[in-house]
Amino acid sequence: MKELSSYFAEDGALAQRIAGYRPRPQQFEMAQAIADAIKGNRVLVAEAGTGTGKTFAYLVPALLSGGKVIVSTGTKTLQDQLFHRDLPAVRDALRVPVSVALLKGRANYLCHYHLERAQSDGRFATREDALHLPKIVRWAKHTSTGDKAECPDVSEDAAVWQQVTSTRDNCLGQDCPSVKECFVLAARRAAQEAEVVVVNHHLFFADVMLRDTGLAELLPACNTVIFDEAHQLPETASLFFGESISTGQLLDLARDTRNEAIAGAKDFMPLQDATRTLEKAARDLRLAFPGDNQRLGWNQLGSLKGLEPALDSLVREMDAFAALLETQAERSEGLERCWQRTSEIAERITRWRMPPGPEIVRWAEVYSQSASLNATPLHVAGLFRKQLEGTARSWIFTSATLAVGRDFRHYCEELGLDALEPPPDTAVWGSPFDYATQALLYAPEGMPDPNSPGYVDAVVEAALPAIRAAQGRTFVLCTALRAMQRIHEQLASRFEREALDFPLLMQGQGSRSELLERFRKLGNAVLVASQSFWEGVDVPGDALSLVVIDKLPFAPPDDPVLAARIEWMRSEGRNPFMDYQLPRSVINVKQGAGRLIRTERDRGVLMICDPRMIDKPYGRRVWQSLPPMARTRRSSDAVAFLETLPPPARTD
């Protein structure tokens, strides 16, 4: 067998067959470590800086291993990129006859049964939904996968998809009249037969908890599991090892039951009437929470006078709803499934109302139109470690942001990897980019305390000279939605007053992909955004030259899950700030900073406004974890650096 190094050489298979490929020592070293871990059924935790080419570094040894491999990604965007672009390119370059499959959650696949229901029902929330349906019907006649990402005329985030896809709750399974042509089952069969299967973290954990995704049959036969974007795993694990009930789920149950009643029990009007009563109870529950966009802990919930009556009313309506459904359940598979869902949701509500135990945090999250009741485990280490023990296989965890400096302790403890025998191998490969000449880290002088009333105004004042020098081409990354909105308002006012012709965009004005496309095309835009733009966003080239971070991204201390975790860690004699809050913040800063330099030719300024990075002893751990950029405190240095960049090129 050829040496692994030969594939990554200047005249190797990758260079010969993949346009633009350049050998990088870090990439080959990482590939060798992954090959060794696969061969020895080891656990490897590996950080690879931006530009390392970690995707090829794990795909080459994975495809050459000869075993069954599951690759799990943090986002569906990367999942699609891996399956449609990177995997075929590497497979063709290596000339290995490896079969591959893409497996997503069931809500990503068109459901024939629900499409037929939507057509016959003809009820839509908006005119746009009604216009989208015929496009989906036409696409359904020729699609071979049913993957909504492949429907060219309807956006993936269009609301109409909720009516023509299934969920775990409303799927009829083997009782479905369209089971033989089911796209979900076809995708699972393809995954069973493939040697490399691409999934995402949500799907992986849904299977671990629910055995509902088709992975239950895949994992036993699997030799290697690779987690890309592995920094997201602790958060995703907490979500799936917990439990949640939302008013949206209740409204979906009412809608699905009404559709099934119209189709299978049209003569029994009390059931249709009951769906409207259930909808009212769900909306009343949302109204029991004041405000929106907030998280409320168990103690705070106890002070809400309207919550207990709203929950009592909801439970009564759920009981009555279940009783009516039971009388009609035999009339169709759909009605029977709605009856089962009602019982399951009622049980979850009952469990949530029980007093919390020491290991579980009970809390609520409130949005503008909905609310959810959540039960979250304080730590997932033991639960996750069980997945790794027992069967001999290799586990690879990789991301651009896993370590604090070169220390993986925080990450390994969160997932229980520190207690494995033998312990995991760990490694850090820095970026091949020349950060010392390509980038400047700017920490402005004279910034006030981040918690002071005038802090947001000070951020805008400090950032404006840099934005002018960059001629737009800026991301302003905020840690809170309120700050994002305030900064957007302030910038809009200043741009108008100073006649600065920089298009100003804000998260929420369109989908993430739409905003990014506009940002790239405009060439001189300023985008003000919050959490969803800190990672997984790629703007190579001259369109992005300045990234401004308003604050170090510490989770608010009154967040109910964080508050409970802090209390638990203190009871264990640990320092929650140094052991948990700071490492999380460092990893998030590294993600935000990673938006700036995406290629060998990119140049730009990373501006971190928070004075704690300089003034506090722990700040050193933040900037030492960032790439080795030149550093300055002076605005004039940042402006001078930005003024050396070529002017923006508009492509619209």
Q: Could you tell me what percent of the chain has a pLDDT over 90?
A: 73
Nearest to 549 by CA among 490, 500, 612, 601: 612
The answer to whether position 157 is within a domain reads yes
Backbone angles phi, psi at 475, to 5 degrees: -100, 130
Please, are residues 154 and 134 in contact by the beta-carbon 8 Å criterion? Answer: no
What pLDDT sits at residue 46? 97
Same domain membership, residue 446 and residue 318: no
Q: What is the DSSP letter of 581?
A: I
* 623: helix, strand or coil: helix
What are the pLDDT digits (tens) for 262-281? 888 989 999 999 999 999 99
Longest C-alpha distance within the chain, in Å? 77
The answer to whether position 650 is within a domain reads no
What pLDDT sits at residue 213? 53
pLDDT at position 220 over 70: no
What are the pLDDT digits (tens) for 174-193? 888 999 999 999 998 999 89
Same domain membership, residue 333 and residue 248: yes
Give 418-422 contacts, CB < 8 A, sequence gap 24+: 419/381, 419/385, 420/43, 420/385, 420/388, 420/389, 422/42
pLDDT at position 380 over 60: yes
Domain of 157, in residue numbers: 110-165
Residue 183 is which amino acid?
A: F
Same domain membership, residue 351 and residue 248: yes
Query: Is the N-terminal amide bond of 422 cis, ω within 30° of 0?
Result: yes
Looking only at the bridges linking them, the beta strands covering 196-200 and 100-102 are: parallel
pLDDT at position 1 over 60: no
Backbone angles phi, psi at 538, to 5 degrees: -125, 110
Same domain membership, residue 541 and residue 600: yes
- Please state which of the ranges 146-150, 356-360, 553-557, 577-581 shows the lowest mean pLDDT: 356-360
Same domain membership, residue 407 and residue 372: no
Residue 631 to residue 138: CA distance in whole angstroms: 56
Task: State the CATH number of the domain containing residue 230.
Answer: 3.40.50.300
Q: Per-residue confidence at 35, pLDDT binned at 50, 70, 90?
A: very high
The answer to whether position 541 is within a domain reads yes
Question: Vertex 41, ends 38 and 43: CA angle to 5°?
Answer: 85
Nearest to 346 by CA among 281, 262, 288: 281
What are the pLDDT digits (tens) for 461-502? 999 999 999 999 999 999 998 999 999 999 999 999 999 999
What are the pLDDT digits (tens) for 317-341? 999 999 999 999 999 989 999 999 9
Same domain membership, residue 282 and residue 252: yes
Residue with tokens 């934005």: 467
Same domain membership, residue 632 and residue 543: yes
The answer to whether position 173 is within a domain reads no
CA atoms within a 13 Å half-sphere pointing along the CA-CB vector of 229 = 21
* 222: helix, strand or coil: coil
Mean local confidence (pLDDT), 294-322: 94
Same domain membership, residue 223 and residue 256: no
Of 343, 362, 377, which residue sits at a domain end?
Answer: 377
Q: Per-residue confidence at 138, pLDDT binned at 50, 70, 90?
A: very high
Nearest to 464 by CA among 505, 492, 506: 492
Average pLDDT score over the chain: 91
Residue 238 is which amino acid?
A: S
What pLDDT sits at residue 212? 52
* 487: helix, strand or coil: helix
Please, are residues 479 and 550 in contact by the beta-carbon 8 Å criterion? Answer: yes
Same domain membership, residue 216 and residue 275: no
What pLDDT sits at residue 216? 63
What pLDDT sits at residue 454? 93
The answer to whether position 176 is within a domain reads no
What pLDDT sits at residue 210? 60
pLDDT at position 551 over 80: yes
What pLDDT sits at residue 558? 82
What pLDDT sits at residue 499? 94
What are the pLDDT digits (tens) for 404-431? 988 999 999 999 999 998 999 999 999 9
What pLDDT sits at residue 531? 84
Which tokens sit at 320? Answer: 């009555």
The answer to whether position 35 is within a domain reads yes
More confident of the two residues 168 and 378: 378
Residue 592 to residue 518: CA distance in whole angstroms: 20
Total structural domains within the chain: 4
Please, are residues 112 and 181 in contact by the beta-carbon 8 Å criterion? Answer: yes
The answer to whether position 178 is within a domain reads no
The answer to whether position 266 is within a domain reads yes
What pLDDT sits at residue 158? 85
What pLDDT sits at residue 500? 94
Residue 252 to residue 569: CA distance in whole angstroms: 38
Same domain membership, residue 520 and residue 473: yes
Same domain membership, residue 425 and residue 356: no
Mean local confidence (pLDDT), 18-47: 95
What are the pLDDT digits (tens) for 76-103? 888 989 999 999 999 999 999 999 999 9
What are the pLDDT digits (tens) for 564-601? 999 989 998 999 999 999 999 999 999 999 999 999 99
What pLDDT sits at residue 125? 72
pLDDT at position 620 over 90: yes
Same domain membership, residue 634 and residue 531: yes
pLDDT at position 207 over 60: yes
pLDDT at position 209 over 70: no
